[in-house]
Amino acid sequence: MSDAVGVILSKKRSFERTPDRRSADFHEELFALEAAGELIVQRVTGDYVNVSTKYGLPKKIQKGHLWHHKSCGQCGHIPGYSTSIFWIMRKLGYDYSDPRDQTSCTAWNYYASATSNQAAQAAVALRNFAAANETGYFPLIHCGTSYGHYKEVRSELLHSADLRAQVRKVLGKLGKEMVIPEEIVHYSEWLYAMKDEIASARILDLSGVAVTVHPACHYYKLVEGDAIYDPDVYHGQRTAAVSGLVQALGADLRSYSTFFDCCGFGFRHILVQRDFTRSFATLRKIEVMKAEADPDVVLTHDTGCVTALDKSQFATQAHDRNVGVPVMSEAQFAAISMGAHPFKVAQLHWHSTNYRPLLEKMGIDWEAAWADFQKDLKKLEANEQQYLTWADVGV
Partner 1 sequence: MATVTTHPYFKVESVAGHTDVPHAEKERLIGQVFADPRMPSYLYGCYECGICVAACPSARFYDFSPRRIAQAAARHDVELLFQQLEEDVWECSQCFSCLRCPRGNNPGGIITIMREVAVTNGLRSAKVALEGYSRIIYKIMSTGTQVSPDMLQPDAFPDWGPEVKDVSENLSLWRRALPPETHHTTSTGWDVAESTILELYVIWMETGALDMIKEVDSGIHMILEEIMEERLEEEGIEL
Site for partner 1 in 118-157 (CB under 8 A): 118-120, 123-124, 127, 131, 148, 156
Q: Residue 154 Cβ, how far from partner 1 at the closest point, in Å?
A: 14
Q: Residue 46 Cβ, how far from partner 1 at the closest point, in Å?
A: 23
Distance, in Å, from the CA atom of 391 to the CA atom of 384, rounded to the nearest integer, reads: 15
The verdict on 160 binding partner 1 (CB under 8 A) reads: yes
Report the site for partner 1 in 269-288 (rule: CB under 8 A): 269, 271-272, 274, 276, 278-280, 284
Nearer to partner 1, 87 or 234 (CB): 87
Nearer to partner 1, 98 or 196 (CB): 98
Nearer to partner 1, 1 or 368 (CB): 368
The verdict on 173 binding partner 1 (CB under 8 A) reads: yes
Nearer to partner 1, 59 or 214 (CB): 214
Q: How many residues bind partner 1 (CB under 8 A)?
A: 94
The verdict on 73 binding partner 1 (CB under 8 A) reads: yes
Contact between 361 and 209 under an 8 Å Cβ cutoff? The reply is yes
Nearer to partner 1, 56 or 172 (CB): 172
The verdict on 389 binding partner 1 (CB under 8 A) reads: yes
Nearer to partner 1, 207 or 383 (CB): 383
Nearer to partner 1, 131 or 248 (CB): 131
- Return the residue of 213, 262, 289, 323 that touches partner 1, per CB under 8 A: 262
CB atoms within 10 A of CB 11: 12
Report the site for partner 1 in 337-356 (rule: CB under 8 A): 344-345, 347, 349-352
- Return the residue of 45, 52, 109, 322 that touches partner 1, per CB under 8 A: 109
The verdict on 370 binding partner 1 (CB under 8 A) reads: no
Contact between 163 and 157 under an 8 Å Cβ cutoff? The reply is yes
